[in-house]
Structure 1
Amino acid sequence: MNALELLTTRRSTKTLGLPVPDELQLHTILQAASQVPDHGRLTPWRFVVIQSEAGMSRFRQILLDTVTELNMGDEARAKAEKVGKMAPMVLAVIASPKTGKPEWEQHLSAGCAAYAAQLAANAQGFDNVWLSGLWVNSPLLKAAFDCNEKEKIIALIMLGTATRSPAEPKNTDVQAFTQFW
């Protein structure tokens, strides 16, 4: 698959199973993520890879404990259970801004790193979905990932192999949101 095809056909997939990237493929994903613009080589992001059975079990429990601690209710508990079983591997992308430079630019760089990781996974034949929502604000997950006060979890990229066919590519009419001068 060439770069333009990858960029114009990438889709999120929420039904993920084995296999997951092996050590070399994961290294390639992280290498691609590290090549994004980062405002003066600040590396304003870091990654946490959850891949072992023990790690995935701990991740699932943290999601459930988040629901309990924040008194989120039964609907959120069901969602936590679904998210915890969505994929056999998780790549957490954490914005880790450095002092002295605009944080918003560093957060954008972290977002680029997350997207580059997704594309690198797709390019190697793996599927994924970027999750955020209430989970990235979980104080328990932030603590488990050793986040400091300035750090923010911006993506939980669920990785694996699609167990169902991904959604069809969008037929996007760029005219609807593009202005030409």
Structure 2
Amino acid sequence: MTDSALKIIHDNMHNRQSVGQLVEPAPDAAQLEIAFQAALTAPDHHRLKPTRFMVVEQDQREAFAELLVQAMVDQGEQDPVQLDRVRHHPFRAPLLVLAVTQFQDHPKVPYFEQTLSSGAAIQNFLLSMQAQGFASIWRSGAVVESKLFKRALGLQEHDLISGIIYLGTAARTIMPRAESDNQPYVSLWRRA
């Protein structure tokens, strides 16, 4: 790999950040396919492929909003202000993608490893979307624990809704993230 290619890859990783205000254009089917292919290259012990993605297209956002509200009510939320706030979530972006971890029982791959694999897949997906010129934000919230929500998505109760990814184009320029001092987060291990 050339130094310039390596710099492009690292710049993409360093510049990725969550963007809350998203507008058209959204990625098309071909661009999503590239990102899904990138996602599925994530580390995956025994190649169980626990990660699933569900696309909520623009014309389905209203129905998805109602499902979110039903899920919140099912969890006991009664505050009309909160329910109205949740009802507007799918309209924050022109396209939504749900990320799901469908756990598989395996003697050598515990659920936590499958969760980590999904996290890596989602990060690959986000980086691919950014490399293609799109912005995103990955959110979850209490709704992802709703049994009603999981059933409506065809999931098992033990499956994990790893988050809702909002996709589109940044509505405004985002200030670059400040460089991190890695020292507090990196250490050398030495045998005592």
Whether these two folds match at TM > 0.5 is yes
| Equivalence for 2:172 | 164
1:131 to 139, 145, 150: 139
SS at match of 2:47: coil
Pick the aligned partner of 2:10 from 4, 7, 14: 4
Change (3 A) 1:85 1:36: same
- Are 1:24 and 2:13 matched, yes or no? no
Counterparts of 1:71 and 1:159, CA distance in 2? 29
Which shifted more, 41-50 or 137-146? 137-146
Greater shift, 76-85 or 101-110, is seen at: 76-85
Distance 1:3 1:43, change over 3 A: same
Q: Which amino acid aligns with 1:133?
A: G
Aligned to 2:90: 84
TM-score, normalised to structure 1, is 0.91
Residue 69 of structure 2 aligns to which amino acid in structure 1? L
Q: For residue 118 of structure 1, what is the amino acid of its counterpart?
A: L
Give CA-to-partner distance per residue, 1:39-70, whole Å, 9 cap, x none. Answer: 111111111111141x2111111112223333
Q: CA–CA distance in 2 between the matches of 1:97 and 1:67?
A: 24
The whole-number CA distance in structure 1 between the counterparts of 2:130 and 2:44 is: 22
Looking at structure 2, the residues matched to 83 and 3 of structure 1 have their Cα atoms a distance apart, in angstroms, of 31
Q: What amino acid maps onto 2:169 in structure 1?
A: T
Letter in 2 for 1:25: Q
148-157 or 61-70: bigger deviation: 61-70
Contact residue 12 and residue 167 of structure 1 kept, 8 A:
no
Cα 1:74/1:173, change in 2 over 3 Å: farther
Report the CA distance between 1:173 and its aligned residue: 1.3
Q: Residue 67 of structure 1 is aligned with which of 61, 64, 72?
A: 72
The letter of the residue matching 1:48 is M
Distance 1:178 1:23 in 2: 39
Residue equivalent to 1:40: 46
Which stretch shifts more, 170-179 or 44-53?
Answer: 170-179
Corresponding letter in the other structure for 1:46: R
Return closer, same or farther for 1:27/1:153 CA change in 2, 3 Å cut-off: same
Distance 2:139 2:175 in 1: 17
1:154 counterpart SS class: strand
C-alpha distance in 1, partners of 2:187/2:119?
24
- The gaps in structure 1 that reach 5 residues or longer are none
Q: CA deviation at 1:11?
A: 0.7
**Identical amino acids, percent of aligned pairs:** 31
Q: Once superposed, what is the RMSD of the aligned Cα atoms? A: 1.7
Any stretches of 5+ residues in structure 2 without a counterpart? Answer: 1-6
Cα deviation 1:55-107 (Å, max 9, x = unaligned): 21111111122233333224532431342211111111110121112111011
If the length of structure 2 is used for normalisation, what is the TM-score?
0.87
Count of matched residue pairs: 180
